[in-house]
Structure 1
Amino acid sequence: MNKLMGATFVVCSFVLLTGRVGAQTPRAYENAADNAMEAKDYYAAMQYFGKVLEMEPNRLDVSYRYADAARQFGAYGQAEVLLQQTLDADKNGKFPDVPFRLANVKKYLGKYDEAIRLYRRYTASAPLSSPLRKEAEQDIEQCVWALERLNNPDKTILIERLPDETPNTAQSDFAATMLGNTLVYSSFREIEWGDKNYPKRPIVKVMESREGAESAYAMFNDPKRHTANTAFSPDGKVLIFNKCDYVDVGAISCELYFSTQTAAGWSEPLKLPETINVPGFTSTQPHIRANENGYYELYFVSNSPGGKGGLDIWKVIFSAMGNCGKPENLSAINTTHDEATPFFAEKEKTLFFSTTGRQTVGGFDIYKSVLKNNVWEEAEHLDVPLNSSYDDLYFSLQNDGTVLFTSNREESATVAGDACCFDIYKATYLPIELKTLAFANPDEDPLAGVVFTLTEAPDATPSATKFSGEKNEADFAVRRRESYMVIAQKEFYTPDTVYFTTNAIPTDRKFLEKLYLTPEIGLAVKTFHEWTKEPLFDVLVRIYETPGVKSNQKSTGAHSNESNLPVGGMRMFTVIAEKEGYLPDTAIVTAEELKAIKAGSTMYKNLFLSPSSMSAYLPISLFFDNDQPDPRTRYTTTSQTYEQTVERYMTRREAFIEKYTATLQGVEKEQAVEQLGKFFDEEVQTGYVKLEVFASNLDLFLKGGSTIEIMVKAFASPLASSDYNLALTQRRIASVRNYFRKFDDGIFEQYVRNGQLKVSTLPLGESAAAPNVSDDARDKRRSVYSIEASRERRAEIIEVRMFKN
């Protein structure tokens, strides 16, 4: 702030300054110049050094010091001329750091190429221990960076200096913001305020201009003190501003004051506590934010203890009554140099500030840092031309999207040659266009008849909707530094959504977003047994759009042979049906097939799976009549085949029903008749059919060279003794073995002889019978004809062991 306000203390002519010098001799002027430099009154020092040079023009030491005063005053053009003259005349190298000083001035003038050459000239001869050598090396890097920034300005930003007098004057004007339709800003004024200095120094006052009218003094100005840097709360109820005093000829120290809005205007200002206004230090440049917890946050600038060095940005929570918490140093933002003029943009959750502690294209440059999850993200430099090779401060985003800021760039008013002053500028972001294009996915054919909806994220309310008609495009106007979402929709197509921000603007100010809508095409896959052509349930259907990369999968389910999957948007794909115990079946769907299917339609594919082993048919339950085969014997083998026994058994279906239901009546009898009928039809008959299919396909695996072992176990009802039942189960297994030997005129006989086909037995007798099955020979209704007893009289093929020869 001292630099900003100190650069404006040029209000008197040199004639007035001469009154401070006694005898007008070179020595007197030189002493006066040294005193002015010590007091940081650089303008006065310039005048005195100039007077010495008029009398003694060959004094290189005075020319050098004159240039230093001009540099620190901000009169870089004058400093450049003087330093160049000194460099050219210094044949003996009396002033070895002149190349560095001249490079530094040229850097501030934006002459980066020349600055780089001078910095390199200095580092080529400067001692390694020179503190300026490291600074020169850093400045070279900064000049290279600044050249890149200046050579790539954001052409969508229009900069204009605000009009003369309202607000800009011959002195410095700064810290502008709009309060409704009123421009509020701070301005140095040459008015009577009781200054005892000679010549009198200007004083800063807060000015107001309603709708461009002539500026007037704000009512809360202190007549005897600088009044500046207004900060209004978002709800307009709180005002915090500076009252400042000269502490030297040019230096100023400030304090922060608090006021609230009343029916009569602003209340009497109260000085904020010493935790903020630390005695002996300056606290300045306030900005107020309303946080999410219902409190205010005050951002301000101070050089008080506890910071990182120079001027730092601080934050403190306070209430509407002015009660303040403990100030927090924004260490993630601050550097060891100066940070200034904070401004928090609520919608963007972004802090804008000026700094000399980061890479800049001039003196103070404007940076921004986003607050995300209560963490400040890495600060970003704002583009040229908002930033310049001069000082740029007091960024203030207005409700209409424009930015007010303060700068002493070339267009600003000057008082002493090229020095001073700061003026108020406005940055306008030129309109930005968005073109949206719709295409059908994946062929990228233009897609007409699309509805585009533009939404300003994260707001869910659409800000604009357009129909493309016979074209595939729609245009929108968008705003800078916003986040947007675009949705493209069309019937029978899956919508597409894109998200984008308008932070980095193309040079033509036109964004292009392409959206790809996927046609809603279904694939219905039906799965069947390859040999029987019967529906095959519980099959997993997979789709692979890219070899080895699964796109989707779905099971047909335990009671279905159909699976439906979306395939819109695929160029081509492979569909594979898989089931344990079966070889998978595959179909390839080409791009031409897909393209022929209209959006909203379904394509159909039938897939057929062959068993990969005989286990796919298991288990197979084979039921027997009571004491069959070969009743009332204890033989462990039989000549009968299972086919013979089951055919006789099926002829006794009605007899079993009659015997079991003879004692039953009404509903109970009807239910028993139905249940026994189902047993014969769905268990006895189905078991035999499964055996036929099993045997019919067994030959395929044997011909392929596999060795197959069929594991069979048999059961008996507990009606007879255990040893009798053991022999009975062995006969039942023997009937199954005979079935395979005689099947289809003995096609398996050769495999049995060479050991390629085996039927292994595991007879269990009644030891495995269910405990609820009757063993009472006198109650044949339950022990012979019941479903429970009938289910115990069976043989089961429980396992097929296959070995590849």
Structure 2
Amino acid sequence: MKRIYILTTFFLLSLTGLQAQTQSFTGYIEAADMASARDDHYNAYRLYAIAAEDDWQEDNEYEDRIGEVYYKTGTAAYRSTAYTEAEKYLVKLQSDPSISKYPLTKYYLGQAVFRQGRYDQAVAYFQQFLDDQPRAPEAYRSTALAQINDADWAIDAMTRAEDIQLRHLPAGINTPDSDIMYTRGPNGTRYFSSNSFEYKQDSLTPRRMLSRILRQTGEATAVPLPATINLPGKNVAHTAFNKAMTKVYYSVCDFRNYDEMICDVYRADVGTDGKWSNPVKTDINQSNYSTTQPSIGFDATKGGEYLYFASDRPGGQGGLDLYRASLSSDGTIGTPENLSSVNTAGDEASPFWYAPRQTLYFATNGRFTFGGLDIYKSFLIDGRFRRPVNIGAPINTSADEAYYTRFDDPDQAYVSSRKPDSEAIFYSSERDVCCYDLYEFTPDPRIDLQALTFNKLTKDELIGATVKLYKITPDGPELIEEVINLEDNEFNFKVEQGAMYRLTAEKDGFTSVIDEFDLSSPELKDLAFIERRLELNPKVVLDVFTFNNVDESELPGTTIKLFTVGEDGKLTLIEEITDPLANEGHFDLEIGKNYLVEATKPGFGKATTEVDLRGYDPNDGGGNIRRDLYLGQSLEVYVIDGRTDEPLSNATLRLLKADGSLVSESTNTEGNDYYYTVNLDQPFVLNTSRSGYFPRVDTLRFTQQDLIDGGGKLVYYVPLFSDDINEFLPFEVYFDNDHPDPDAISLTTKMAYDETYRPYVMRRNDFKAEASTDMSTEDAFLVRGDIDQFFDQEVEAGWKQLSRFSDALILHLRSGKSFTLELQGYASPRAPTEYNRRLSARRNMSLKNFFQEYRNKALAKFIKSGQLTFTEAALGETTANLDKIYERIDRERESIYSTIASLERRVMLRNGLSSKKK
């Protein structure tokens, strides 16, 4: 078993006698070499140190061998843990001409200052060693690299040292030799082990020291247990009681070679008076291997006790490993189980089980440490030991710490440390290293929180992340601690019971993650240890650029939105960017997700693109993806009934480019609105159809002025006309007095209705003024209102109906049907009857001329072919109500400008007769 895990002592030779024998420079070197050969490094160091004194300068070999002596003194001092002395002699070697013979000097200097807690300087020495000695044995180079990582970790961990006060236990417990494993027993007794007993039957000179278990009751002086327990000539240590305090387990060790030992675990019964009896060697031991440092733990999950111990038996991970075996009430021990999740290739030792928090404490040098052995803890949750956590400074130091124990009522913990503290009984300026002393402290009552970072895609541990811990307060999140871990993926914090916290994790090349949790929640409030997994996705940077689709110029001020697309197609907005001065936006995407990017700008149509990273390999094309979005103008199309202007749902629209390629085809069953993106000054063809209506085709071309007129967007209305043309009829159109062709006596006219209509509607204000002449204010107001209503609801409405009917008539005739339209012309009774009949005929003729010229003679061919025919009736004033209409020419207000007279100047379109297709 390795000496650092037993009660360390030093066997000092009688240097006076040795000096008498050697009395020479080379004699001390030879004696030191002999001590070193048997691994007695402390006495080797003391002898080399004598040879290194200046008193030997007159010796013929001094000048040639002093560099050798410095090196051997320094390395022997290091191996005996006299780190200050090791540094002193290795520094002296730096100026010696023989320094080149000792390529490991910087390596040992790094180790010496590391164990003194000077981590920055240790890193410098190790790096110099790696730079200067590229061909040094790989074992030393790899260790130097590992120690650099340890030093970096220790520097960072020291910044998070807890405010814990350690109290050095008094003399009577601590001695000039090693004192370890402070344990509480039955009836208020306390036990510890001390290596302060001389081995009187030792065959070596000087005699070695033995360890004994001591018992203390009250304030009485501690006394060793009887020889039935502290067996003569053996090292006995480490005390562990079962939960019932009826059995105790301990180690019994034999010397093997000079200061190595091999140990076995023993068991004894504990009586009601606290005395131990019936000691036996347990069957957990394995021949020729050490089984030592027992601890008894109650597993709350499985409801039974386990024996924990350290052993170097075969099958472990390296050095000493920790094991546990089930323990029956009669002392029967089950099959040992290697604690593989706790053990390392280094050494794990001095296990201690703390039942209230289901926590295993132990010492290790196989993980990041402040130097040598550090105390770690691992929580047993759901039958699995969680990743061990260094309990931190000031409990752990650059010296060795081991044999942690903790007890309730009161909550006190104990640790054995070899730190060269001024309170340490062994310590003096001449003897800067020796033994373990016992210290007492009150543990931090807060809950342990461990955050672990992982690559979400690969599930691998993610090293080099930054994790921040926030406490959620009424005033918002309060940053408690920020940790950057360049060595592994573990982040350890302390949190208060019942509080709310937030963890954030980030790393270059990965998306950040947020984790919030409430320690008052039922699933967390009673835990002593909380583990949170933070999974960061490898990040892909999406670069989006927006352009005008017309001329491909940059389009600044575009709003770019990023959505995730769920498995059900649901969109969730992640981020939105609008840069008024630039045409770009940049987003962090997660591999394994599907995204939609949307770009919009007032006056432009929406542009979208999908970015599917569900099967994305970050090694393909690097970590950047570019998307260019071209925005055209926004076109809103509304389908209406061509006769009533009412919204018309359930129409099907097909928008095509000029080359015939389809832009979009859709049917809106719930509304009459359709949305497209088009380019200015480029033609599109819109096909619109609906059941019960004539289909229509529109050629669309929009200009910048159309965009201005539409208030930043393009709006187009599509009137559909019922395939039943008779729905439009009857309706009436109106004329100005004596129009067309005033004062004419002809039955015909060359004017079309639109030519007479337009001047007529321009005279609205004239009619209002004349109709209200010489009236009171109130009567004039009413009359002018009647005139406005007449022009709105009759004159202009009739024109609109005429235009819509004409469009529908075109579609009707194009479908192959024929149609006969009856025109009935009327006049007011102002002129003689025959004049009015001729005027009515001219009015009918103006409608026929209108149809002949409508839409670039679209109906002319149907008139010529006879598909469209007319019947006429020139009725003049024959239907007018002469009791209400003045006929006198000198009464123009009543006979020309009144609404009663105006209503008679009209043509009624009616009785349209359709026939079957030809």
TM-score grouping bracket, smaller chain normalisation: 0.5 to 0.7
1:370 aligns with 2:379: yes
The aligned amino acid for 1:284 is T
Give the match's secondary structure for 1:386: coil
1:97 aligns with 2:136: no
- Could you tell me how far apart the structure 2 residues matched to 1:284 and 1:548 are? 60
Q: Which has more radius of gyration?
A: 2
1:422 aligns with 2:436: yes
Are residues 280 and 401 of structure 1, via their aligned partners in 2, closer, same or farther at CA, if it must alter by over 3 Å?
A: same
Alignment of 1:692-703 (within 5 A): none
- Could you tell me how far apart the structure 1 residues matched to 2:272 and 2:413 are? 31
Distance apart, 1:16 and its partner CA: 6.5
TM-score w.r.t. the length of structure 1 is 0.54
Q: Counterpart of 1:168?
A: 174
Q: Counterpart of 2:416?
A: 406
Are residues 43 and 84 of structure 1, via their aligned partners in 2, closer, same or farther at CA, if it must alter by over 3 Å?
A: same
- Could you tell me how far apart the structure 2 residues matched to 1:614 and 1:63 are? 100
Q: Counterpart of 1:107?
A: 114
Are residues 436 and 330 of structure 1, via their aligned partners in 2, closer, same or farther at CA, if it must alter by over 3 Å?
A: closer
Give the match's secondary structure for 1:74: coil
1:140 pairs, out of 140, 148, 160, with 148
The aligned amino acid for 2:184 is M
8 Å Cα contact 2:237/2:250 also seen in 1: yes
Distance apart, 1:355 and its partner CA: 0.9
8 Å Cα contact 1:17/1:44 also seen in 2: no
Q: Counterpart of 2:335?
A: 326
Q: Counterpart of 1:692?
A: none
Give the match's secondary structure for 1:352: strand
8 Å Cα contact 1:5/1:172 also seen in 2: no
Are residues 126 and 162 of structure 1, via their aligned partners in 2, closer, same or farther at CA, if it must alter by over 3 Å?
A: same
- Could you tell me how far apart the structure 2 residues matched to 1:6 and 1:228 are? 9
Distance apart, 1:613 and its partner CA: 12
More contact order relative to length (CA 8 Å, sep ≥ 6): 1
Give the match's secondary structure for 2:31: helix
Give the match's secondary structure for 1:259: strand
Give the match's secondary structure for 1:69: helix
Distance apart, 1:94 and its partner CA: 1.6
How many positions carry a matched residue from both structures? Answer: 495
Distance apart, 1:144 and its partner CA: 1.5
Are residues 22 and 343 of structure 1, via their aligned partners in 2, closer, same or farther at CA, if it must alter by over 3 Å?
A: same
Distance apart, 1:116 and its partner CA: 1.4
8 Å Cα contact 2:103/2:136 also seen in 1: no
Q: Counterpart of 2:210?
A: 203
1:179 aligns with 2:188: no
Q: Counterpart of 2:28?
A: 29
Distance apart, 1:121 and its partner CA: 1.5
Give the match's secondary structure for 2:181: strand
1:751-777 deviation per Cα after TM superposition (whole angstroms, max 9, x unaligned): 9xx99xxxxxxxxxxxxxxxxxxxxxx
Distance apart, 1:191 and its partner CA: 4.1
Are residues 53 and 438 of structure 1, via their aligned partners in 2, closer, same or farther at CA, if it must alter by over 3 Å?
A: closer
Are residues 366 and 486 of structure 1, via their aligned partners in 2, closer, same or farther at CA, if it must alter by over 3 Å?
A: closer
The aligned amino acid for 1:251 is E
Q: Counterpart of 2:390?
A: 381
Q: Counterpart of 1:40?
A: 39
Distance apart, 1:287 and its partner CA: 0.8
Are residues 435 and 37 of structure 1, via their aligned partners in 2, closer, same or farther at CA, if it must alter by over 3 Å?
A: closer
Distance apart, 1:135 and its partner CA: 2.1
Moved more, 104-113 or 204-213: 204-213
- Could you tell me how far apart the structure 2 residues matched to 1:119 and 1:548 are? 52
- Could you tell me how far apart the structure 2 residues matched to 1:223 and 1:486 are? 53
Distance apart, 1:279 and its partner CA: 1.6
- Could you tell me how far apart the structure 1 residues matched to 2:433 and 2:519 are? 53
Q: Which runs of 5+ in 2 are unaligned?
A: 448-469, 477-492, 501-517, 531-570, 574-646, 651-687, 693-804, 810-918
8 Å Cα contact 1:157/1:430 also seen in 2: yes
8 Å Cα contact 1:6/1:250 also seen in 2: no
- Could you tell me how far apart the structure 2 residues matched to 1:280 and 1:267 are? 26
The aligned amino acid for 1:69 is A
The aligned amino acid for 2:175 is T
Alignment of 1:504-523 (within 5 A): none
Q: Counterpart of 1:484?
A: 497
- Could you tell me how far apart the structure 2 residues matched to 1:66 and 1:320 are? 53
Give the match's secondary structure for 1:143: helix
1:8-44 deviation per Cα after TM superposition (whole angstroms, max 9, x unaligned): 433656446639x855444443333222212222222
Q: Counterpart of 1:270?
A: 280
Percent identity, aligned pairs only? 27
- Could you tell me how far apart the structure 1 residues matched to 2:162 and 2:304 are? 39
1:156 aligns with 2:168: no
- Could you tell me how far apart the structure 2 residues matched to 1:142 and 1:614 are? 74
Distance apart, 1:149 and its partner CA: 1.4
- Could you tell me how far apart the structure 2 residues matched to 1:12 and 1:134 are? 34
- Could you tell me how far apart the structure 2 residues matched to 1:397 and 1:314 are? 20
- Could you tell me how far apart the structure 1 residues matched to 2:344 and 2:472 are? 43
Give the match's secondary structure for 1:409: coil
8 Å Cα contact 2:3/2:259 also seen in 1: no
1:633-692 deviation per Cα after TM superposition (whole angstroms, max 9, x unaligned): xxxxxxxxxxxxxxxxxxxxxxxxxxxxxxxxxxxxxxxxxxxxxxxxxxxxxxxxxxxx
Give the match's secondary structure for 1:93: helix
- Could you tell me how far apart the structure 2 residues matched to 1:410 and 1:431 are? 28
- Could you tell me how far apart the structure 2 residues matched to 1:486 and 1:417 are? 48
Give the match's secondary structure for 1:104: helix
8 Å Cα contact 1:413/1:421 also seen in 2: no
TM-score w.r.t. the length of structure 2 is 0.47
Give the match's secondary structure for 2:35: helix
The aligned amino acid for 2:344 is T
8 Å Cα contact 1:7/1:419 also seen in 2: no
Give the match's secondary structure for 1:369: strand
Give the match's secondary structure for 2:95: helix
Q: Counterpart of 1:351?
A: 360
- Could you tell me how far apart the structure 1 residues matched to 2:415 and 2:402 are? 6
Give the match's secondary structure for 1:120: helix
Give the match's secondary structure for 1:134: helix
Q: Which runs of 5+ in 1 are unaligned?
A: 445-479, 488-495, 506-546, 550-611, 616-704, 710-750, 756-805
Distance apart, 1:147 and its partner CA: 1.3
Q: Counterpart of 1:250?
A: 259
Give the match's secondary structure for 2:106: helix
Are residues 283 and 317 of structure 1, via their aligned partners in 2, closer, same or farther at CA, if it must alter by over 3 Å?
A: same
- Could you tell me how far apart the structure 1 residues matched to 2:147 and 2:124 are? 11
- Could you tell me how far apart the structure 1 residues matched to 2:7 and 2:271 are? 36
Give the match's secondary structure for 1:269: strand
- Could you tell me how far apart the structure 1 residues matched to 2:113 and 2:336 are? 39
1:320-366 deviation per Cα after TM superposition (whole angstroms, max 9, x unaligned): 22322221222221111111111222232222211111111111011
Alignment of 1:762-777 (within 5 A): none
1:300 pairs, out of 309, 313, 325, with 309
Distance apart, 1:374 and its partner CA: 2.2
Alignment of 1:590-605 (within 5 A): none
- Could you tell me how far apart the structure 1 residues matched to 2:178 and 2:97 are? 37
8 Å Cα contact 1:171/1:188 also seen in 2: yes
8 Å Cα contact 2:13/2:206 also seen in 1: no
Distance apart, 1:389 and its partner CA: 0.8
Distance apart, 1:69 and its partner CA: 1.5
Q: Counterpart of 2:201?
A: 194
Distance apart, 1:172 and its partner CA: 0.8
- Could you tell me how far apart the structure 1 residues matched to 2:649 and 2:91 are? 100
8 Å Cα contact 2:199/2:208 also seen in 1: no
Are residues 77 and 235 of structure 1, via their aligned partners in 2, closer, same or farther at CA, if it must alter by over 3 Å?
A: same
8 Å Cα contact 1:413/1:422 also seen in 2: no
